[in-house]
Amino acid sequence: MSNLIIPENPGIFINNKPLFIRKVRVVKKRMEMTIPFETSFGRFSSLSRLFPVIDFETEQGDVFTGTGECPPLDAPWYNYECHRTVEVALGYISSSLTGKPVDLNDGIVAPGNSPVTDIYSFINKYRWIVGHEIAKAGVEGAYWDAIAQMNSVPVSTLFGGTKKKVLAGTSVGLESTIDLFMKKIEHAVEGMKVARIKMKIKPGKDINYIEAVRKKYPEILLQVDANAAYDLFKPTDIALLKELDNYNLTMIEQPGRNDDIMDHSRQLAGLTTPICLDESILNVVHTRQAIELWEQSSDTKKLIINIKPPRVGGFLESLKIAQLCSNNGVSVWCGGMYESALGKTANVHFSSRIEVNLPGDHVSQAPYFKEDIAESPVYENGEITVPEGIGWGLRGSKL
């Protein structure tokens, strides 16, 4: 019997102490990538990262400064957002938090602005803004960081996380030849000893690449990510996706349109390999709808959800999705969006929840960026240690 009731409070800490927002600012950094990354939608070598920084003051006059991260791509390849749209959205969110018109907003809070308490009252300040989930996620991250500092605990404690270590996989981008691609696979498996491999695929770079991996590593946990590169109503594409059943894959991620939930469940019901939805799941309501559709057309055991907090608007929504999936036997994992060390660390805190039961995209073949804003969480032999420091627990922060 399915349990499709959306959890209002997914087991998170509820702050009841009034907090006055005093200042909102955004730090923007252009960050050069160590290794360019290629997917079905493009290749990029540098990214802009935006870090909302918010000062909160208690009734006693103590000030706690929280920081979050917005990790958009540079063009609307993955979804409609990019660093330019995120900047615009952050202006409107900041205006909502400070109580000043967006064109006059300087980040300093207007006199008489009402305080916030729990995460719900904070989000309600800017709930009126439609979409712009990456911007919202970064701002929400700043709230959780400040609340954790106020309570002298790691953010994972506020999230209700219990795991001390989380399984870590890596994402391997496409290369021009199989030999170049396999060098990256070999380094990930033998050098990094990751818990699983996620490899990008697209038409023309799929079966041969998968065969090469499986021939050398028949037992490694392996999943493929198509980034919406296949047509679910094209017989040759369906036949190719069906052929992937022969390679013992953990999942096929987002093979069809990036805004589709329905056709994935219907058109791919004949596959034995689970289908993972990524781009098409923007909130917990989409998650409920997907679970209902898989119940009707296929089997919920063949549905997996990739939760990226920036894609779904933040951590509260992510935790709701994780709990709803767990209540209905749907596995979930935490994907990455080429975050800096802050964003990676935040994802690890989220992944400390027991419901996040598959390895996430938490480590990379080389540091994402030539110069990062802090040290990444400690990784060893396929596992990352959940930071125990106060707040995000960043080491060596340069923000």
> What pLDDT is stored for residue 365 in this prediction?
82
> How many angstroms separate the CA atoms of 253 and 266, rounded?
16
Beta bridge partners of 342: none
- The secondary element (H helix, E strand) that includes residue 162 is none
Q: Which of the listed CATH numbers 2.60.200.20, 3.90.380.10, 3.30.390.10, 3.40.50.300 matches domain 19-152?
A: 3.30.390.10
Nearest to 306 by CA among 225, 195, 196: 225
> How many angstroms separate the CA atoms of 249 and 197, rounded?
10
The domain spans of the chain are: 19-152, 158-385
Q: What is the DSSP-derived secondary structure letter of residue 72?
A: -
pLDDT band at 362 (very low <50, low <70, confident <90, very high): very high
> What pLDDT is stored for residue 69 in this prediction?
98
3 state SS of 369: strand
- Confidence check: pLDDT of 312 > 80: yes
Task: Report residue 163: phi and psi, to 5°.
Answer: -75, 135
Which tokens hold the place of 70? 């917005």
Mean pLDDT, range 307-330, rounded to an integer: 97
Q: Which residue has the higher pLDDT, 59 or 366?
A: 59
Question: Which of 2-11, 94-103, 163-172, 244-253 is least confident?
Answer: 2-11
> How many angstroms separate the CA atoms of 114 and 104, rounded?
19
> What pLDDT is stored for residue 248 in this prediction?
97
Q: CA 156: distance to chain centroid?
A: 15
Q: Is 200 a catalytic residue?
A: yes
Question: CB–CB of 242/272 below 8 Å?
Answer: no
The separation between the first and the last C-alpha atoms of the chain, rounded to the nearest angstrom, is 49
Mean pLDDT, range 342-354, rounded to an integer: 98
The average confidence (pLDDT) of the chain is 95
> What pLDDT is stored for residue 38 in this prediction?
66
From 125, 205, 308, 344, the catalytic residue: 308
Considering the entire predicted model, what is its pTM? Answer: 0.95
pLDDT band at 3 (very low <50, low <70, confident <90, very high): confident
Superfamily of domain 158-385: Enolase-like C-terminal domain (3.20.20.120)
Q: What is the DSSP-derived secondary structure letter of residue 280?
A: T
Cβ burial, residue 172 (10 Å; 0-12/13-18/19+): buried
- Confidence check: pLDDT of 1 > 60: no
Mean pLDDT, range 244-273, rounded to an integer: 97
Q: Is 234 a catalytic residue?
A: no
From 23, 100, 125, 200, the catalytic residue: 200
pLDDT band at 36 (very low <50, low <70, confident <90, very high): confident
